[in-house]
Structures are given as C-alpha cells and as structure tokens.
C-alpha cells in the first residue's frame, strides 16, 4: 500500500469547532486560537462564517475575528459564505479562500441553508464567480455524503451529482463531509470515488466528524485512495447546529499522531498543537476530545 508522503490539514476548529457553542466565545479567544494554530504549523485555517446571526449566533463576530487575526505568510485563511450577502460581507476581511457549502441530501440542504440542492447551486454560482473575479480561491463543502440525520444513508450517486454541479459552477476543490460521523471506510471510499469522478486527487479533501469513533479509520481509508487533504478540529471541537447529535470533527491532534506514526509529513508540531487544544478546552471549561492529547497530557503530568 502506497500512502501519500505528506498531508495538508485544514484546521476548522475556529469555525466548525466553535459554531455550535451555546455560550458566546469572545472574538479575542478565537483570534488567539487562530494564532496558536498557525504557530503549531497549520497552513490552512477555517476562521469563521458569514452566515445569518439568527441561524448561527456564535459566528456573528466574523468581521471582528477576521480583522483581528495576525496573518502569517504561507497560511491560507478561509471563511464560509452561503450567498452573495455573506460573500460581500466577507470581502472586507480579505479571506484567501471562500467556502460555499451544499449537501448530498435534500433534507439537510433545507434544514441547513433553507433551500434545495438545485437552489443552492443557483445561489453559489454568482458567489463563486465573484470570488474568482476577485482572485479569491473557492472551495465547496458537501455535507451528508454518507449519511443524513433526516434521510438516512446517502447513495454515492448523490455525492457524484453534487460534486458535478459544484465543478460546473467553477468550484476549485471540494470537501467530502461525513457530517454526522456515521461513515465507515468502504462507504467513505465510495463517496470519495464518486467525487473523484469530477475533481482531481489534489482537489478533494476528507472532512470527518467522529460521532461514531470512525473518523481515523475513515481517514486511513481516504489515504489509501491517495487523498492527502483533510479537515480536522483542534481538541475535536465541533458539530453542526442543523445536524442534531453530531459531535465534533476528528481531532487534529489524533490525525497528526496517526500520520506521524505512518511517517507522513504534516508540518505540524504536535506539542504546540496540544497546547492550542488546551487553550481552547480550558476556555470552554471541558476536557479535550482528543485521545492523543489526553494521553500525552497525562504523560507530561507524570
Ligand atoms: P434565509 O433565511 O433563507 O435567507 O437563510 P434570506 O435570504 O431569506 O434572508 C433572511 C434574513 O437573513 C435576512 O435578514 C437576510 O438579510 C439575512 P432579515 O431581513 O430577516 O433581518 N441573511 C444574512 N445575514 C448574514 N449573513 C448572510 C445572510 N444571508 C441572509 N450571509 C442562510 C439562508 C443561508 C443565510 C441561512 O440558512 C443560514 O445562515 N444558514 C447557516 C447555516 C450554517 O452556518 N450551518 C453551519 C455551517 S455548515 C457545516 O457546519 C457543515 C460543514 O462543516 C461540512 C459538514 O460537516 O457537513 C461545512
Ligand atoms: Mg463539519
């Protein structure tokens, strides 16, 4: 088995990780988290989203956070923009990349962004065009590519259909997301393969929530296909407010440990990453969800 020699991790902790927090997290804490992630060697960070504050109150400070981050050259800062209103608001923060986010499930599309899959693509098309015209990169997130909290199992054909639509409007790369963490390796590989029919291997990333404890296995299954871009969340933070019961993304610490153990380069300093995870976990007042961080913190204490 030949695995990729290096992996690029996109830490989505400040966005996916914190969007579901009930208590407001101050912008200063989010800004510090971004700084600690870049100090730990993360080269891509999903910082915030420009969505309706009525829908996701935790992201209402998007402009303040983007204005406050201490940019480091070589680091890509991305933000979610579901429509032109969000994109126009995002411009002031000078994101390197914007993310339009759709779903392979009709029901989830309705619950999450209040429109059908076809309508979402119609909304995204001018956003993608405006971003490309402005020299901003465009990623597309595809939710519920394996299972949906409302529709159950999702066929790979539906994933391929959405991937094709995303490609058709000019989206440059896509995330294959297991939003509710129900996927297992073969199912995840099928979702990835359906996407790879439309995008090259360098343009497809895995975004695995860890609700059922399968995210690392799914990561390995993706690596076996040659996928080398992954989203993960420091301390395993996260969840989508419109996917009830879904827990956080796979912890970045756990993915880094897995990859280091396999001799795959990530450029991430695991010790510094664990410190970043401790910073946000202490702020939230609960222990990290990362098994690796817990183990290494216990070792440090000993
Ligand atoms: P809508 O209600 O259909 O939008 O929401 P609308 O165009 O009818 O506008 C209604 C109101 O929202 C208006 O305000 C607009 O101005 C305002 P009002 O006149 O009532 O005061 N509005 C906005 N405000 C701020 N920013 C905007 C914006 N757009 C409209 N961009 C909308 C449609 C998409 C806005 C809404 O459904 C929404 O905000 N949804 C948020 C969904 C979300 O953030 N989900 C979590 C992120 S996705 C995720 O976590 C999954 C992912 O991690 C992958 C995975 O794991 O699956 C990416
Ligand atoms: Mg997610």
Residues 109-131: tens digit of each pLDDT: 999 999 999 999 999 999 999 99
Count of residues in the chain: 302
Element (H, E) at 278: helix 270-284
Measured in whole angstroms, the distance separating CA 285 from the mean position of its chain's CA atoms is 23
Taking residue 168's Cβ as centre, other Cβ atoms within 10 Å add up to 12
For residue 26, give the DSSP letter.
P
Q: Domain 8-301 is of which CATH architecture?
A: Alpha-Beta Barrel (3.20)
Name the pairing type of β-strands 173-178 and 204-208: parallel
pLDDT for 245: 77
Q: How large a percentage of the chain has pLDDT more than 90?
A: 96
Instruction: Identify the nearest ligand to the CA of 89 by its number.
Output: 1
69 vs 271: CA distance, rounded Å = 22
Least confident of 78-87, 236-245, 253-262, 287-296: 236-245
pLDDT for 199: 99
The mean pLDDT of 255-272, rounded to a whole number, is 98
Catalytic-labelled residue, pool 115, 144, 148, 240: 240
Listed as own residue / partner, the contacts of 31-36 with beta carbons closer than 8 Å and 24 or more positions apart are 31/65, 31/68, 31/69, 31/70, 32/279, 33/234, 33/276, 33/279, 33/280, 34/65, 34/69, 34/70, 34/77, 35/69, 35/70, 36/272, 36/275, 36/276, 36/279
145 vs 164: CA distance, rounded Å = 14
Dihedrals phi, psi of 184, to nearest 5 degrees: -125, 165
Buried b vs exposed e over 123-136: b needs ≥16 C-beta within 10 Å?
bbbebbebbeeeeb
89 vs 286: CA distance, rounded Å = 33
Please tell me the distance between residue 179's alpha carbon and the centre of ligand 2 in angstroms. Answer: 5
Residue 1 pLDDT > 80? no
Taking ligand 2, which is a single-atom ion, which protein residues have CB atoms under 5 Å away? 16
Tell me the pLDDT tens digit for each residue of 155-179: 999 999 999 999 999 999 999 999 9
Instruction: Identify the nearest ligand to the CA of 232 by its number.
Output: 2
Active-site annotation holds for 115: no
pLDDT for 136: 98
Q: Supply the mean pLDDT for the chain.
A: 97
Please tell me the distance between residue 109's alpha carbon and the centre of ligand 2 in angstroms. Answer: 14
Residue whose CA is closest, atom 11 of ligand 1? Answer: 52
pLDDT for 241: 76
114 vs 68: CA distance, rounded Å = 31
Element (H, E) at 129: helix 117-133
pLDDT for 238: 86
Determine the residue of 12, 52, 205 to mutate for testing ligand 1's pocket, defined as the one with the most ligand atoms within 8 A of the Cβ atom.
52
pTM (two decimals): 0.97
Q: Where are the domains of the chain?
A: 8-301
Do 180 and 245 form a contact (C-beta atoms < 8 A)?
yes
pLDDT for 243: 79
């Amino acid at each position: 088995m030949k695995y990729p020699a290096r992996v690029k991790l996109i830490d989505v902790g400040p966005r996916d990780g914190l969007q579901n927090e009930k208590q407001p997290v101050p912008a200063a804490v989010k800004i510090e988290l971004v700084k600690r992630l870049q100090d730990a060697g993360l080269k891509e960070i999903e910082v915030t989203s420009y969505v309706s504050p009525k829908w996701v109150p935790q992201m209402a400070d998007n402009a303040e956070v983007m204005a406050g981050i201490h940019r480091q050259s070589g680091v890509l800062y991305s933000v979610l923009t579901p429509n032109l209103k969000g994109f126009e608001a995002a411009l002031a923060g000078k994101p390197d990349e914007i993310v339009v986010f759709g779903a392979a499930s009709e029901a989830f599309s309705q619950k999450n962004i209040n429109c059908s899959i076809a309508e979402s693509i119609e909304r995204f098309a001018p956003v993608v065009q405006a971003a490309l015209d402005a020299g901003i990169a465009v990623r597309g997130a595809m939710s519920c590519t394996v299972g949906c909290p409302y529709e159950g199992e999702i066929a790979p054909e539906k994933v391929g259909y959405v991937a094709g639509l995303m490609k058709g409007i000019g989206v440059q790369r896509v995330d294959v997301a297991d939003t509710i963490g129900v996927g297992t390796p073969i199912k995840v590989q099928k979702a990835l393969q359906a996407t790879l029919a439309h995008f090259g291997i360098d343009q497809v990333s895995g975004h695995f929530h860890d609700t059922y404890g399968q995210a690392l296995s799914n990561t390995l299954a993706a690596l076996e296909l040659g996928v080398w871009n992954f989203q993960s969340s420091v301390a395993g933070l996260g969840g989508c407010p419109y996917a009830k019961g879904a827990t956080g993304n796979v912890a970045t610490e756990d993915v880094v440990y897995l990859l280091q153990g396999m001799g795959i380069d990530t450029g991430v300093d695991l010790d510094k990453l664990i410190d970043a995870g401790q910073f946000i976990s202490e702020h939230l007042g609960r222990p990290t969800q990362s098994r690796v961080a817990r183990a290494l913190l216990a070792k440090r204490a000993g």
